[in-house]
Structures are given as C-alpha cells and as structure tokens.
Structure 1
Amino acid sequence: MIIPELPAYLTSLGGEDYKGFIIALFTLSAGLSRPFSGKLADKIGRIPVMMIGASVCFVVGMLYPLLSFVGGFLFLRFAHGFSTGFTPTGASAYVADIVPYQKRGEAMGLFSLFGSMGMAAGPAIGGWLATLFPLETVFYVSAFTAIFSILILLKLKETLPNKERISLNMFKLKKDEIIEKRVLVPSGILFLCAFSFGVVLTIIPDFSTHLGIENKGLFFGVFTLSSLGIRLLAGKTSDRYGRVPVMRAASATLVCAMILIGLAESKIALMGSGILFGCAVGMYSPTTAAWVVDLSLEQFRGRALATMYIALEAGIGIGALVSGFLFANSADNFQLVFLSSAGIAGLAFVGLLFVRNKQGVALEEYM
C-alpha cells in the first residue's frame, strides 16, 4: 500500500539520493531475519512466527508519521522488513504442512494468489488514498490491515506436531542452520528473477511520473492482477510436468517483459508490459515454492523456505540498490536500468537449461 508513495515521500524529507534504500533496507532486514524465522517455525510453530511478523507490520506502520526525517524513515524501513522476514516463512510452512505432495504446486499457486490480491489492491488503494488524504492516512490504514491478519491467525490450529518452548538458545545459529543446501538451485534461480522485481519496485514510481501517470500504484495493480489467474495454472502445470519447464517459461517471459518496459514510451505500453511482467511473476512464485518444498526434509521445512526467501530478498534488495545507482535520478538512464535487469533474468533462463527436470518421481527419489 505504501510502496508507490515512498520515493516521493523520501524526496520530501530531503533524502532523494537514498531511494535505492527504500527497498534495499527492507529486504536486508527480512533476509537477516529469515534464518531465525525458519528455525523458530521448526521449533515453536508456524503460527507464532506469523504473529511476530504481523505485529511488527502494525507497530512500524504506526511509527512512520512520527519519525518523519530521513534517518528515522530509513530506520523504519529496516525494521519493517522483519514483518516480511517472519510471516511468509511461517505461512508457507503452514501451507506445505496441510497439502499433499501431488497438489503442492496447485496449493502454492492458490496461496500466492491471495498474496497477489493484496499486492494488487494495496498499491492501487494506497495511490488513490494519497490523492485524497495526507500520506499519514496511508501509513495508518496500512498498519491497521495487519490487525486483521492477527485476528485470522488467532483462529488457526497449529500444524507443527512437536512444539518447543521458546528459549534464548533458539536465537543462536549454527552454520548449517542458516542455509538449507538442498534448495540452493531453486533459490539461486529465484535470486536472478527477483532482481527485476527490485528494479520495478524502485524505479517504476519515477518512471510512471516520467510518462505522465498520476497514480504511481497503477503499474503495480496491473502487473499483480495479471499474475492472479496464471498462478493456479502455473502451479497445476508444475505438478503435472515438473517445476523446471514452468520456471524456464517464467524466466523467458520475464526477459521479454523487462525489455518492453525499457522501451515503453506511453501509459498503454507500460501497462501492457506490466501484464507480461505479472505473468512471469505469477509463474515463478508458486513454482519455486513448490520446488523448494519438494527438495526439503519435513523437519527442516521452515529452514528450506527461509533459504528461498533469503534468495528472494537478496535479489530484490540488490536489484533495488543497483537500479538506484544506475538510475541516479536521471530520466536518461531508465532504459539502461530495465535492459540491464533483462540481462540478469536471462541468466536465470540459461541456468535452467542445465537443470534436469524431475517430473513424475516420488518425493524420496526427488531428494
């Protein structure tokens, strides 16, 4: 909800040179918290981990209007990332717990579908609210949506069979508790794909203004809506034919989308390329999650999903930083930024050509 307005808000605070940090700091803290959220999800349960994330989202959202200076804003962006560092890890593990293997891709597609609905409604509503009310209103509304998440979580039944009491030892990580090596291949591919997502989050608000689009959340709404329908189809297809073919199609589509965004010179062209970008995201998001769960051991499922999200946040964060550096607040650099991200997505496609598909095998054989 708040992302489309943040670049202009930071500029109003005198921090226009730090636009790349809007996404980068958020994803940095999310990535740093992932090993802890993965371990806690496997120890104390999925629901407590989700509750921590939702609570952080509420508290930080309420603080944005109070810490209205550059240093305070950047601190809150870092703190806000802990919400994403915890909730999706617990939620993904929860879904994986209750879904049979043969429908895992479909279930992850449905799970990500609801996430996309929020991603579509949030920026569009946030951009609309910002045209009617002070930006503080957008911050408060975004914070209170987290309350509804907490109310839902209170009604859920925990799926972790042998819960442990939380202790300080759980916050001491061993080397093998940070990254799950079994899922490094899909996580690496996700990193390369997520790079473009970081570019879009950082540069599209300014690019929209450059093209004369008043609602800077419009592109986010378009690409997220376009990803909705394809998520279920992509999940089902990956269940039937394997994860790798779907990931190849997703990465190829992503390359085309980023090239077309870079070449866009009108609102219609940008929205059209946004549809294609949404299709790519809708294909790779549920498929990667299902692929990671396929390769993970049940007792380390939280850690495996945390590894995936670390790669996701690293890709988004680095994409945001690099794009902010390349853009340098100059409209002449828009094309350079988007075409460079297309090249990174191309590396994902090339890498997938060397990954063997494992369609139709039992879970034990897959591992």
Structure 2
Amino acid sequence: MKKQPLWTKNFLGISFISLFLFLVFYILLTTLPIYVLDELHGNETQVGLIVAVFLIAAVLCRPFTGKWIDAIGRKKILLSSVIIFTIASLLYVWTDSIPLLLGLRFLHGIGFGMATTATGAIIADIVPNERKGEGLGYYALFMNLAMVIGPFAGLTIIQISSFNRLFILCTVLAFFALVLSFIVRIPEASIPEEKVHSTFSIGSFFEKNAISVSIVGGILALAYSGILSFISIYAKELGLFKAASFFFVVYAIAIVISRPFTGRWFDLYGENKIVYPSIILFAIGMVLLSQANSTFLFLFSAAIIGLGYGSLSPSLQTVAIKNSSPSKRGLATSTFFTFFDSGIGIGSYALGVIAVYMDLSTLYLILAVVVLLALLAYYFLHGKKSNNQNMLHTEADISL
C-alpha cells in the first residue's frame, strides 16, 4: 500500500505555529530572570515566581482546553488562544513592575497552554494513522529546535540591544503564528451532541485512556526538570560554564539524528521497542552527567539524554492519543501535557528545595533512579498490556 503523505501544507503550518510559540517561550524563559533582576530590581524568589506563574496558568487551563477543543472546535480554540498569546507578547513592552509582570505571565501562560494543547490535538488529526509515531516525532522536533534557537537568540539580543526590542521580536514571532493559524486548514472532529452538553465532572476534563502513560510522562518530566533548572549552575560548579551553552545544542543534534529512525520504528514495531530503550538511555545519560568531570563527558551525557528523553515525550504522547477515540484526541492531548507540565513545575520547585541539602552530582544520580522507577511504572501501567496485545496479534497472524 502507498504511504499516506506526511509533509503536507497543513502539517508544516501547525509545526511552524508550534515552533513560533515555543521560540517565544524559550526566549522569555532564559531572559526574563535577567530582566527581573537588572531592570525591575527584583530578587531570586520573584524570578522563581515569574517562571512558576506561567506554568501554573498553563497547567490549569489545559484540562478545560482539551474539553473545549472537542466540544467547540479546533480552529476556534487555536485562533482565540494564539490571539491571547500574541497580545500578551506585545504587553511586555509596557510592563514595568513585578506585580504587572506576574499578571502578564499568568495571561501568557493561559494563551500558551491553550495554544499548545490545540496544536497537539490538531497534529494528531492531520498525521495519518499508520504514521503517527513518525509524524508526532517530527512535530516534536520543531519544539526541540526552538529549545536551542530560543535561548541563544534571546541572550544574544539582550547583549547587543535592549529588552524592548526583544519583546518586539517575541510579538513578531507570535504574530507569525497567528497568521498561520488563520491560513492553515484544520479538520474538525464530529462530536456527538451528548458530548457537547455533558455534565460537569472532574473525569470530563481528563481522558481516562491517556492517564496511565501520562503518569509516566509526568515522572520523566520531573527528572528532566533537574536539567532545565540546574544544568548551568552544575556546569559552573564543575568549571565547565562555557560548555553549558552547548549542552542543549548537542542534545538537539542527537534528537535530529535519531528522529527519522525512532518515529518509523515506533510505527513498525510498537511503542515498547522505543520506550524501554529510551528510558534506559535517559537513565544512563543522567548517571554520566552525575559523574561528568570534563567537557567531553558533560556533552556526551547531553547526547545520550537527547537520544533517550528526546524520544520519550513524542512516543508517550502518541500512545496517549492512539489509546483514545478520535473524538477525544483534544482531551487526550491536554491530559498528557497536564501531567507533563506538572512534572516540570513540581520537579523544579521540589528539586530546588532538595538541592540545598546535597551537591548536584548526587541529585542527578538520584534522578537516574527516578527515571528507572518510571521504567517500572511504564511496565505495569501500559507496557505489559501492550506486549500482551502484540503477542495476541502475532498469534492471530500465524494462525492465518
């Protein structure tokens, strides 16, 4: 059978919308702490609040967005969320106090949480069923590229120019996402009438079939938050601060090299063949990072973590979507990212508290154990069942 096309105009449109959204996210993530300290004369606690408020807003709105996407429509939610995101990006130009910035970060987090939930649900509809792993893997690659380009661009601009010009750049990038949101054609799922008018309940904001792998994703995100929060501090402690800026570059290169293969293998051989080795590689990468005493080992750990963790997020998201009915893909996407964002947020705070009582080398070694616990969680929550299903399919094929 001829393969269904993957790189369509709609696929590229949604992928570039995601790229622009995450570029703004990562630009501000790395530069706002400096803005708070140098321009607004805030302190480290307020820097933490600026990051936390954004994530809290994103987490709070995701379950509602998943419900609205399936009830109101993907296009309407995407447009409204990117409009909120674009307006919020522009308002940074006039934000000159900590209270105003906190309020703006909450609004921006709402727009980001809604928009990324919408793009995740839309891409799940656009990608052909037989190429889900491959398609969502390439879609995640755009987010990975933003993670490398965003911090580099943001830090470079504030060194050679001003924060106002940085905020204008963020507004332009958000505007590009808005223009594409109007242009891209989005397939709308047909939602039964009773679903639209369903009664309010906690269960109606989460897709039950996506919860098991979402829990695993949350545990892995918690471990990964240790890298996001402390990698630059750790590199400074090791006397490798210059190498810190290259950590995510090497991480992204490893993802780019592996993505064409892992996505296809996912579709051909099933999720277990990708998830198990990826978790093990992630754990090995964390162990190597904890023992890093040279630039080579520090960056080599980044490559191993990229090969491992870089494959896990799109793979688990694909499982969450495949386990759910087409009419609940929006809810499945929001469920996955709610657990994922919660893992990042809880991990960033909790590990910050723990790091006071131990060195970061020990912390990364403990996080390697956490990753292996995620391996057990995956086995009992999903992997064992998936393996049994594959064995049944194989036996059925043999009998035929």
TM-score range, shorter chain: 0.7 to 0.9
8 A contact 1:33–1:85 mirrored in 2: yes
Residue 229 of structure 2 corresponds to: 202
Deviation track 1:215-268 (CA, whole Å, cap 9, x = no partner) reads: 965433332332223233222111111112311122112212222223334444
**C-alpha distance in structure 2 between counterparts of 1:25 and 1:237, whole Å:** 38
Question: Corresponding residue for 2:252?
Answer: 224
Aligned residue number for residue 333 of structure 1: 359
| 1:15–1:359 Cα change, 3 Å | farther
User: Would you say 1:3 and 2:29 are equivalent positions?
Assistant: yes
CA distance change for structure 1 residues 159 and 38 in 2, over 3 Å: closer, same or farther? same
Matches within 5 A, 1:93-132: 93-132=121-160
Name the structure 2 match of 1:86.
114
1:159 matched to which residue of 2? Answer: 187
Q: Conserved in 2, the CA contact under 8 Å of 1:49 and 1:86? A: yes
Task: Please give the alpha-carbon distance, in whole angstroms, between the structure 2 residues aligned to 1:317 and 1:237.
Answer: 31
User: Which stretch shows the higher mean deviation, 22-31 or 4-13?
Assistant: 4-13
Match of 2:87 in 1: 59
Query: Which residue of 2 is the match for residue 281 of structure 1?
Result: 309
Mapped pair 1:318 → 2:346: yes
Residue in structure 2 matched with residue 254 of structure 1 by the alignment = 282
Call closer, same or farther: CA 1:139–1:198 in 2, change over 3 Å.
farther
Residue in 1 that maps onto 2:327: 299
2:175 is matched with: 147
- 2:376 alignment partner in structure 1: 350
State the 1:84 CA deviation.
2.9
- Between the aligned partners of 1:349 and 1:293, the Cα distance in structure 2 is 20
TM-score of the superposed pair, with normalisation by structure 1: 0.86
- Unaligned stretches of 5+ residues in structure 1: none
Cα 1:84–1:302 shift into 2, 3 Å: same
Structure 2 distance, partners of 1:94, 1:322, is: 33
- Preserved CA contact (<8 Å) 1:191 1:311: yes
Structure 1 Cα separation of the partners of residues 186 and 98 of structure 2:
40
What amino acid is aligned across from residue 180 of structure 1 in structure 2?
Answer: E
Deviates more, 1:169-178 or 1:24-33: 169-178
The RMSD of aligned alpha carbons is 2.9
CA distance in 1, matches of 2:77, 2:391: 33
| Cα distance change of structure 1 residues 175 and 17 upon mapping to structure 2, 3 Å threshold | closer
Question: Aligned residue for 1:77?
Answer: 105
Structure of greater Rg: 2
Q: CA deviation at 1:120?
A: 2.1
Query: In 1, distance between residues paired with 2:310 and 2:325?
Result: 26
Match of 1:188 in 2: 215
What SS class does the counterpart of residue 359 from structure 2 fall into?
helix
d(CA) in 2 for partners of 1:172 and 1:15?
45
Supply the distance in 2 between the matched residues of 1:343 and 1:198 (Cα, whole angstroms).
14
Provide the rounded CA distance (Å) in 2 between the counterparts of 1:200 and 1:115. 17
Residues 33 and 86, structure 1, Cα contact 8 Å, conserved in 2: yes
Q: Is the contact made by 1:23 and 1:202 (CA closer than 8 Å) also made in structure 2?
A: no
Q: Is contact 2:191–2:327 with CA below 8 Å preserved after alignment? A: no
Indicate the structure whose relative CO is greater, using CA pairs within 8 Å and at least 6 residues apart: 1
**Structure 2, gaps ≥5 residues long:** 1-26
Contact 1:213 1:267 in 2 (8 A): no
CA contact (8 A) 1:262 1:336 kept: yes
Q: What SS does structure 2 have at the residue aligned with 1:159?
A: coil
Match of 1:175 in 2: 202
Deviation at 1:94, TM superposition (A): 1.4
- What one-letter code is carried by the residue in structure 1 that aligns with 2:213? P
Change (3 A) 1:88 1:352: same
Give, in angstroms, the shift of residue 302 of structure 1: 0.7
One-letter amino acid of the structure 2 residue matched with residue 29 of structure 1: A
How far apart in 2 are the matches of 1:83 and 1:299? 23
Closer, same or farther in 2 for the Cα pair 1:149/1:288, shift >3 Å?
same
Give the match for residue 62 of structure 2: 34
Instruction: Decide whether aligned partners of structure 1 residues 213 and 312 sit closer, same or farther in structure 2, where only a CA change above 3 A counts.
Output: same
**How big is the shift at 1:188?**
0.8
